[in-house]
Structure 1
């Protein structure tokens, strides 16, 4: 019982079922025995109820009980201790008036919940109550000292046999420490991500199955993708070069199934549509037991290094070609008026980026002039790439100049940079340009006009910064008139023509060139040779030198090898005069004819043994130990009909 004016006690039986007895209920049994039995049962119920309350009060969590309508039936001791609200204060609403006879849970929520959380908590509770379903929400509850701490509030309905809600039971669990730990983790994660985003390398976090979980700012900026796009399934195929997808697929998956760090090289699509090479290193992150939890993939841009490597390979190829052919003068020697005029033109045009067309007979030193232009230009520190257009089969010249993608044609097993790409930033010499096919001339015209090209097998234009120097011993104007050379290309090449005079037009230079060559070859042969005999100089200056400086070079080299005296002399029988009094290389010519005939005999014998077949393991090229292209070139030069050796 309660005294007048004092707050009522909470329900005597808040833990009883819907059919339980309430405190103060009156009975009218038929006899005293039955009445006594009811009183005994009620006392036992009260005793059980008191024991249950003590248990609930001892629970290390706030527990409470509500009626089906949401009014408060019971609040445990932990709840009162935390909030500092006494039982009298908690139930004051019940004693204030008949109209407000019950304390409502929403009233208590508003009193103890943080102002910023109150509206949401009340709204959540008002959704849970009519649904009659379990629910929970997180709020900050005010402690008795005024501090707010985070709690998770869970409500669970109890139903009778008919399924009607007869009680609501709930707990308030303190999660402040968990919240603080989560906040620290979020802060640490934010700081870590800020650090990772500041790293200039591309970093991704992968799951054990290879799926992308996170990418840093560097990768997002490079690809132009959002985080959602990067972590979406299939995003890897969007940014990886098509040629690298299959190449890396199995290799990467096998490595991810293990637990050892690994790396690979791959091309990633930049936001502007260009692919760049990256070295990607994969490092595992393990738990204390050694199990792999994540993979960190760090990508370093190595595109410039790959370009340099490819350029070096092409330059080495060019150097090997240089060594395979007869070397020319290392310096331009002479002081004749014709040569001084050429050098003056070189000096004027070298500092520009204008296209130069070098014209001259075979052996006049067209390549030397091209190299002189390059060495005196602002591109001197960059590559100088020479392409002999006449020495490359017409079917391969386009690939040689512009490169190809893997699979572009039979035998293209990997991507290859062309000579233009290798010469990027420097100078390219297109020697014997008059021998280019019409198809290649069209592609070359585009490079000169638009400063870009496409590799064979690709439709992506590649910009290039290359100075073009072309050289030929042909009359390109006559070729244009004959329809074998495109007029537009001729105009593009003929920006600054330089004509090199033949040796017969600058005879004054012959003594200087001869002396230079004698010293050069004598040093190589470890011989001491003095002055040139006057007779030899007279022979040299009287000769027309149809092979120009290259022919003079060959004659002197042979003479140095055969010379035993200190004075340099040349056997005059090597040269003879023509009908006009000029000298001709009689023995050299006869020797060349003899060698040609011998070559013909050897090649025809090999063709006969191979039944007219050139390539393949049993072909003539394999029998002779020479490349197929070399043999086919010899067959064309010697005008050999290989088909007559094929079986009818």
Structure 2
């Protein structure tokens, strides 16, 4: 039976309570059960359900259909139709019963909301939260008492309910982050009489689904990577299941055994490779390492096999194999690599310390600039360089600069301090040795010349090696070849030699301690570094560099240097050269106070040696002043004794060399032969 609702506000909560109250009376009176259905709808609902009736959203003028179950259904429908077709008035006499119905309906809705496993958030037209169920608390980690009445976007990260209120558009299946939780949510506007009065968000925690999805993707990626590793491995790899059926072989296995995988996959390992170590492991369940197999052509194979256990059950065996000859080659390469790594580790540590001590060649003196010009030209060649100079003048620094600006800069730079290595070990250090060459030679060792191949070898303190070693070194320089100690193999090497010494090699040759032929082999491009006392103009630059470097290294405040200290440094004769200067600066920084380095921080010997002394410039003879000519003769005689030539003596006295020569002859200071 159809009926049109004329109530001007439709079936709202209070009217729905009236209808439920009246429907219960009619059901009880006639012993029937009535249903109501919106004409445009497909689902019938009990007319006595307050929540369901309200959810129909029946408006004034809408047509509904009444249905009934029971013998007296016609009478019941007739009476209910009459009630609905009129203007339903609120019966004040039954107001308490209707309030109870509304209250029960509200409680029922709240229980439904609380029992939901999905989060539910309801906001009013001002986006203030009015409902926040238990599931929402669990998912968001927020308490309802802390969010009810607040704006949704204030308490929920990235909330879009205010957008739904504004647009009235429903949103389904949106992903959203709330803290560390990922949710999927549906957002729907609440519309009453064509007006948006609120919005509802229902959401579900999908963090675990996301995690599982990511884990599944990771497993897939890992499997792909694992497959690629197996396919490109140099070792032959095979896998069999617990029945011995071959499930996988890689390309290296195919090459080693000259088979095609499609021909052996699915076959039993016992039928195809009777010697395979995996057969034994299948039977014993224990891994087998270092098993030796010999192929028909005599090639020896070393194999390792391990069982695969899953949940305590053996599911198969994986085996890897390698030819012994290849393994031997790899061991030799490994030994060579280990020797290089060990050397470069030591060099890296020493180089780091070196760079901290002297990062660049500092100085503007003419003598130093001239040396650097020669060195830069030498770097463009592969000729042997002999660097000479006193201890501490920076010979190794210059050797490294030559290497780093040469074509070999990307090749090894190997340093050997010949004076620091015992004579009995120097040959082994330079040329290497074979296993068993002498007591303690437990394996082959590569020498420094071999490590420096195609690069540069720096032989420091070359003047300290014995004549026997000089002969062997001469052969390397001439022939570019050598043998390891205890070895028979002649090893070719292409290496640039830079040697250094603070010894007088010419005097050593006269004494017979240094070979002339080696001297001339080394002295192709000689470079002599000037001592610090001959380039005192560079002392302020060097002092400033060391102050800045040491202060940075020791985390000190960078200090300046007083003029008095600079004067003392420039007056000192510097037997230890630049190395001694750095040590003195480091000491002064450690012991000094204030913003400037002063005399108190300098070692006592530096101050005492530089204390001005009273000097008599005019010598008296028997208390009388001599003639000007006598004094002039003495001055020129002293200058010639010190400087050995008219030119240098003239420069020292500020006179032309011709003037010095004339006066020397005048005073009979030179032989006329």
User: How does the TM-score come out when normalised to structure 2?
Assistant: 0.43
User: How does the TM-score come out when normalised to structure 1?
Assistant: 0.45
